[in-house]
C-alpha cells in the first residue's frame, strides 16, 4: 500500500485575520509531527482531524498554547474536533504522534479554521439594509459551495479509509485461503499414506524342514 503523501491543500487567506487550512500528510512510525499557527487573542478556532489510513487508525494528538498550557490532549484517537478561544496572542502548536507504533505508517487529515468567515458581500457587515437579489444569490451560492467542499472532503477521507480496510481484508483473506489450501494438501497426503499402510501386506513366510523360516 502506498503511504506517500496523498494530498496537500492549503487555502489562502480569506481575510487578514481569517485562515482556513486543510492538510493530509504521512506520519511515519515512531515519529511526531508538529504544526504551528499564530492566532490573535480572543479569536475562536476549530481543529478537526482524522486518521485516514494505517494500523488501527489512531494517533496521539495535543494542542499547546503560547504560554505552554496544554489545551487538548488525547491518545490513540481516530478522529475528533476541538474548538477553543485564544486567551493569548502568539503561536499555537498542535502535534500528531505515532511514536507508539513500531512499524505502521499513518495518513492523517486535519482542518484548521481560525476566526470567522468574512461576509461574501462587503456591505453585509456595514449596514442592516435588506440585501439585493444579487447579494442574496451570492450568499446562497457561497454556502452551497462551502457545504460541497466539506462533503467532498468527508467522502474522500471516508473512501480512503474504506479502501484501506478493504485492501487489508483482502490480504488477510488471501493469506487464510493459502493456509487452508496447504492444510488440505497436508491432510490429504497424510490420509493417503495412512490408507496405504492399512492395505500393505507383509512378505509371505514358509518354514523349512529344519525349522528355519524362509521368506
Q: Is the confidence at residue 125, as pLDDT, over 80?
A: no
Closest by CA position to 55, among listed 76, 75, 31, 74: 76
| 116 touches 44 (CB < 8 A) | yes
**Per-residue confidence (pLDDT) for residue 72, from 0 to 100:** 94
Give the C-alpha distances (Å, rounded to integers) separating 1 from 4, 13, 58, 100, 160.
9, 35, 18, 21, 12
**Per-residue confidence (pLDDT) for residue 207, from 0 to 100:** 55
CA-to-CA distance for 215 and 209, rounded, in angstroms? 14
| 161 touches 53 (CB < 8 A) | yes
Q: Which fold would CATH assign to domain 1-116?
A: Jelly Rolls (2.60.120)
| 57 touches 22 (CB < 8 A) | no
| pLDDT, averaged across the chain | 78
Closest by CA position to 49, among listed 27, 25, 81, 72: 81
Report the percentage of the chain scoring pLDDT > 70: 77
CA-to-CA distance for 183 and 179, rounded, in angstroms? 6
Q: Is the confidence at residue 106, as pLDDT, over 60?
A: yes
Backbone dihedral angles phi then psi of residue 185, each to the nearest 5 degrees: -65, -45
**Residues 17-46: what's their mean pLDDT?**
83
Q: Is the confidence at residue 15, as pLDDT, over 60?
A: no
| 213 touches 207 (CB < 8 A) | yes
**Residues 30-52: what's their mean pLDDT?**
91
**Per-residue confidence (pLDDT) for residue 208, from 0 to 100:** 54
Closest by CA position to 11, among listed 120, 153, 93, 111: 111
**Per-residue confidence (pLDDT) for residue 35, from 0 to 100:** 92
**Per-residue confidence (pLDDT) for residue 148, from 0 to 100:** 82
CA-to-CA distance for 19 and 112, rounded, in angstroms? 8
Q: Is the confidence at residue 84, as pLDDT, over 60?
A: yes
Of the two residues 81 and 127, the one the predictor is more confident about is: 81
Q: Is the confidence at residue 4, as pLDDT, over 50?
A: no
| 101 touches 40 (CB < 8 A) | no
Of the two residues 215 and 55, the one the predictor is more confident about is: 55
| 21 touches 111 (CB < 8 A) | yes
Backbone dihedral angles phi then psi of residue 145, each to the nearest 5 degrees: -65, -40
Greatest mean pLDDT among 11-20, 119-128, 144-153, 175-184 lies in 175-184
Locate 180 and state its grid cell: 487452508
pLDDT tens for 138-195 read: 778 877 887 787 778 777 777 777 777 788 788 889 999 999 999 999 999 998 888 8
Q: Is the confidence at residue 13, as pLDDT, over 60?
A: no
Amino acid at each position: 500500500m502506498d503511504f506517500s503523501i496523498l494530498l496537500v491543500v492549503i487555502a489562502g487567506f480569506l481575510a487578514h485575520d481569517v485562515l482556513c487550512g486543510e492538510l493530509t500528510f504521512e506520519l511515519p512510525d515512531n515519529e511526531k509531527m508538529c504544526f504551528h499557527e499564530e492566532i490573535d487573542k480572543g479569536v475562536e478556532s476549530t481543529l478537526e482531524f482524522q486518521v485516514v489510513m494505517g494500523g488501527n487508525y489512531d494517533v496521539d494528538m495535543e494542542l499547546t498554547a503560547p504560554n505552554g498550557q496544554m489545551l487538548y490532549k488525547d491518545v490513540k484517537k481516530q478522529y475528533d474536533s476541538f474548538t477553543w478561544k485564544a486567551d493569548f496572542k502568539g503561536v499555537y502548536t498542535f502535534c500528531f504522534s505515532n511514536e507508539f507504533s513500531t512499524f505502521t505508517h499513518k495518513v492523517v487529515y486535519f482542518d484548521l479554521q481560525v476566526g470567522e468567515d468574512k461576509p461574501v458581500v462587503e456591505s453585509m457587515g456595514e449596514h442592516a439594509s435588506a440585501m439585493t437579489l444579487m447579494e442574496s444569490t451570492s450568499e446562497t451560492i457561497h454556502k452551497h459551495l462551502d457545504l460541497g467542499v466539506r462533503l467532498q472532503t468527508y467522502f474522500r477521507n471516508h473512501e480512503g479509509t474504506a479502501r484501506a480496510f478493504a485492501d487489508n481484508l483482502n490480504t488477510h483473506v488471501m493469506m487464510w485461503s493459502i493456509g487452508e489450501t496447504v492444510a488440505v494438501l497436508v491432510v490429504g497426503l497424510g490420509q493417503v499414506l495412512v490408507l496405504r499402510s492399512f492395505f500393505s501386506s507383509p512378505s509371505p513366510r514358509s518354514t523349512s524342514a529344519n525349522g528355519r523360516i524362509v521368506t
